[in-house]
Amino acid sequence: MSAKTVNGPGGKKPASAATNLIAGGGAGMMEALVCHPLDTIKVRMQLSRRARAPGAKKRGFVTTGMEIVKRETPLGLYKGLGAVLTGIVPKMAIRFTSYEWYKQLLAGEGGQVTNRGTFLAGLAAGVTEAVAVVTPMEVIKIRLQAQHHSMADPLDIPKYRNAAHALYTVVREEGFGALYRGVSLTALRQGTNQAVNFTAYSQFRAWLQTYQGKTDLPSWQTSLIGLVSGAMGPLSNAPIDTIKTRLQKTPAEPGDTALGRITKIAGDMWKQEGTRSFYKGITPRIMRVAPGQAVTFTVYEYLKGILERKRDMLEGGKYEE
């Protein structure tokens, strides 16, 4: 089993928390702006019940996207973006900072981290971000994305006007705990996503560095391995994401337990819509997550490189006459 050192390529020390905050936050904002429309299409497909109606024609992701634009204007594709942008900086900061911290905990003698250690560090980082940021952010985002109102018609007033109003309304009507509806599924999804993502990315990166004999990869190669590694997570946990989306979309009934609701949703999907319903939205999800990871890793590595060079210059300046 191959191993890598926590100090990274060339013996560099791990990025600081401030570097992860700035580089991760910048990468996350760029990812959200570029890829959010695909996430909205994915959510609409996962919430669709068209498969229940006999003879109903199924809509693909292109048709779904065109329908949103036609009925709700192109801005409809960006519903829920405010909730995403609000949470993306802490989410990415927590992801990269906690990943590096868990990697150091799992490192052996000499700072070596095995592929198993990388997998576990990614798993733990995904669970951490899910509990700290992602679950509340997704509850609000999904409530906004699920609304079918036209953003061009001022008389078509939705229940949730924006992210802040949705947050206030959900907490007022359903309690603070509603923000953590589906936290177990979100943690499972994020954990498996980041475990697969970081392991694949680290391995591909190490192979390219060894093959080319250099530690710094060009941006196009970083984008390519980010794209490939990013596609692996959604393929491994699509049913979890679909059930989670439906769970977070609607308020809980009095007396319902989380396990009971998850079981009921999964059972209803199986009986009424078939096994394919668990993979609704998989195409736009891969098209959302894979390019998103390509953007994230490319921008993150670029910004981190700039910040680390600045740090090295400042540290070197301490010893100059």
Q: What is the CATH number of the domain that holds 189?
A: 1.50.40.10
In a domain, 319, yes or no: no
In a domain, 174, yes or no: yes
**pLDDT surpasses 80 at 317:** no
Nearest to 226 by CA among 295, 137, 146: 295
> Which residues are within 8 A (CB) of 84 and not within 5 positions of it... i.e. 6 or more apart?
32, 36, 39, 137, 141
d(CA 153, CA 176): 32
Name the residue with higher pLDDT: 203 or 247: 203
State residue 256's pLDDT score. Answer: 78
State residue 13's pLDDT score. Answer: 64
In a domain, 290, yes or no: yes
- Mean of per-residue pLDDT scores for the chain: 84
Structure tokens at 89: 């900086």
> With bands split at pLDDT 50, 70 and 90, how would you rate the model's confidence at 156?
low
Name the residue with higher pLDDT: 141 or 124: 124
**pLDDT surpasses 50 at 147:** yes
Domain span including residue 85? 3-309
In a domain, 78, yes or no: yes
- In this structure, the dihedral spanned by the alpha carbons of residues 103, 109, 115 and 118, taken in order and rounded to 10 degrees, is 0
d(CA 206, CA 199): 11
In a domain, 110, yes or no: yes
Domains contained in the chain, number: 1
Nearest to 159 by CA among 138, 72, 168: 168
Question: What one-character DSSP code corresponds to residue 48?
Answer: -
Q: What is the percentage of the chain residues whose pLDDT exceeds 70?
A: 88
**pLDDT surpasses 90 at 141:** no
pLDDT tens by residue, 162-190:
888 999 999 999 999 999 988 988 998 89
In a domain, 321, yes or no: no
In a domain, 16, yes or no: yes
Name the residue with higher pLDDT: 6 or 34: 34
pLDDT tens by residue, 43-77:
888 787 655 555 566 677 788 899 999 988 898 89
**pLDDT surpasses 80 at 36:** yes
State residue 45's pLDDT score. Answer: 84
In 10 A of CB 97, how many CB atoms? 22
pLDDT tens by residue, 210-261:
999 888 899 999 999 999 999 998 888 888 888 888 888 777 777 778 788 8
Name the residue with higher pLDDT: 56 or 32: 32
**pLDDT surpasses 60 at 319:** no
In a domain, 52, yes or no: yes
Nearest to 195 by CA among 93, 276, 123, 254: 123
For the entire predicted model, the pTM comes to 0.75
> What integer is the mean pLDDT of 3-16?
58
d(CA 22, CA 189): 25
State residue 10's pLDDT score. Answer: 43
State residue 227's pLDDT score. Answer: 94
